[in-house]
Structure 1
Amino acid sequence: MDIRLNHGHSKLDEMNKITIIKNGKILLPDGTISREDLAYSDGKIIELKDTVNSVCTIDYIDANGNYVVPGFIDMHTHGAGGYDFMDATPEAYLGAAEMHAKHGTTALLPTTLTSTNEELFHTFEIYNHVKPLNKKGATFLGLHLEGPYFSYNQRGAQDPKYLRNPSPEEYMKILDATDDIIRWSLAPELDGAMEFGRILRSRNILPSIAHTDAIYEETLQAFDAGFTHVTHFYSCMSSVTRRNAYRYAGVVEAAYMVDDMTVEIIADGVHLPKSLLQFVCKFKGPDKIALVTDSMRGAGMPDGPSVLGSLQGGQPVIIEDGVAKLPDRTAFAGSVATADRLVRTMIQVAEIPFAQAIRMITSTPARILRIDERKGSLAIGKDADIVICDENINIKSTIIEGNVVYNILKP
């Protein structure tokens, strides 16, 4: 990688510290590998002149022959490390973010569950309070609200007592309470959902199709209304159904038919088997697929009893077989995956090429969230969100906006 500063020596003069990552296999935006060095300063990836002003402090990170890739972006997670964002405490937010960072995630969307509005408003307050305190964990990009506007039949592990149709009187109060919502998942077939989707788009919030019984035609209408993304594809959504003897295609078929519709998949190897992982990759491609953990508090924790949602008002679940389940084992209750496991599964189980697997958790989610001008790839001027890992996606170092928050590399 030829790292040369476009802005001349004056820019270097302003830099107090430059960090250079050497001896790494750098994954470039075009998917190729470079063995040249990568440099960053002031939280941004830079070019470097052949000569550096003597006032600069230069640090080196020896990648020891490992891969140097963009930081992972998780656009759907409920928690990790024994913490759930619905706990609505600073400790929960910071603890979950730190656990995710140890597994390569440099940015994430804290995600809510169906709940009371009082819990939701309290979550907004905590999120706003904790953002500037987050120094050791994955960056908070904004909030993802999952529910409460879902189909009862496709509720999955969402608490049914909170499910309802969207009403302007309610959702406008929620939208006016915070500017931190950047994504909202809901079922588009519900009364009032299409208009709600248009309102979300007008506020630059991504409406996402989720927990839905919509048929194909309703999904097309939803896409036109701004629902351009599908939450945890295949999970809790309609496929081909029969109504009064007639067959109808569902959300799954619509997502394949609409070329510009993006999807996210829980690539933990449990929610979707190898065959479906390969199927969705073949027919949507890495530029339309984001890998998400959809992780609950059990991510990074041992098997056994746990809680989905807040400790006070959540639902009991059991962690076993690499996934969280409802106690009666009738449904999954969120994953316990971390981002490194997702990428590893795509490479080792789904047999997806390394660069494509990385793209699905870096540049693709960045583009879906419209933050690709600053995150998602190792390009000059972008945030220095960097992961160093081996070929099996074992994380060696996590760097967030130029700060090393996790490191097991030998000096």
Structure 2
Amino acid sequence: MRGLVTRALAVAATLAAALVLVTAVVLTALDARDRARTADDAERSAIVAVLSVTTDADTLRAALARTKAGSEGRLAVRLGDGRTIGVGGDHPDPSTDEHVPTASGGTAIVSITAPAPVVTRGLVLEIALLLLLAGLGATAAVALGRRMVTPALDAVRVLSDTAEEIGRHDVNVRIRLTGPAELVALADAINAAADRTGRLLAKEREMIADVSHRLRTPLTALRLDAESIGSGPVAERIRRAVTSMEHDVDRIIQSVHHTPGDFPRTCDVGAVVRSRMVFWTAYADDQGRLCDVDLPYEPAPVELSAEGLGAVVDALMDNVFHHTPPSTEVGVAVVSHAGWITLVVDDAGPGVADPEAALLRGASGRGSTGLGLDIARAAVESTGGTIHVERGKLGGARIRLRFAEADSHHERENPRAWRLWGKRH
């Protein structure tokens, strides 16, 4: 913003200085021409005065030599007897000839044989001085303009920083701003919007808590039924699923009683995926699925809570198990490279017919809620990353999440993490 304002001020100051400079140069040139003509007229009048006293050739030559026009060979005198003192011959403007009486009683012609030069050293120096003054004036105008708009720029920066803080971290942050009235009004509007957002979030947490508490009763009944069905792989799988659901409900109830700032904003993608894949790998074994998990040894931190990333992993895996037949192969991989951390979930199912529509919230053509990919999209975009739905190497759908690595510089226009993933397999 500051650079944009500086460039705008520089363009405006340069245009103004150029306009003033051109006008000044034209006026200076016209003034120099008028002064040159006035000087020529004065020197010609001096020669006329000499002719009124004498027509002696030597005296006239000396008088011409003392004038600038005469010394430059532009001033001539033609006497009545045909003699010419100074430069003779034709000249471009005979109208400048002046017929004057002489001391001898005759008539002489005093003429300027060439106009005085307009472009002189003095004129060049004057124009150079004007250029210097125009440059200094433009520089001073830019500096003064920057100083005058600095309060507004500072207010805009406060607005931007606080709005980003409200959007990504804490809705309880409010803008305290002094500056132009328009920006103060904008700050008040942002604060009002943040207040409304806070109230909506509070209502949402209350609703989630209420729904979660209502789920406890059927979950308790389901757990008692699961414990009574005996042993076996199916019974064990049901009990693990019920336990996982109870854990998720408890986590939801705990989260709605805290503000977002109470939870860690950074987690290790590899560690979270490893933790969640313990459950999903066992579930895959029960269905006869081959589940390949490839995780890095080095930490892969992203600016996302472990609960949020765990919900992403669960949503993606739930999509695989819900939309592909049992025994369908699935692969999960995490790769860290060039400031990006890529989480890839591959399956050997039928794939996604319309990848663009699949990313729309609530859109599903297979009887599900259509929220799984939207949960993943919201999480990855909160870190500055992107989500991609593709055809994978297993022949089915590939969901590729590209997270921006925490505290790391990365080129947004040239991500290469998934290219490395392709080379490793």
TM-score of Structure 1 vs Structure 2, range by shorter chain: under 0.3
Select the structure that is richer in helix. Answer: 2
More strand by share: 1
Higher Rg: 2
Q: TM-score, normalised by structure 1?
A: 0.22
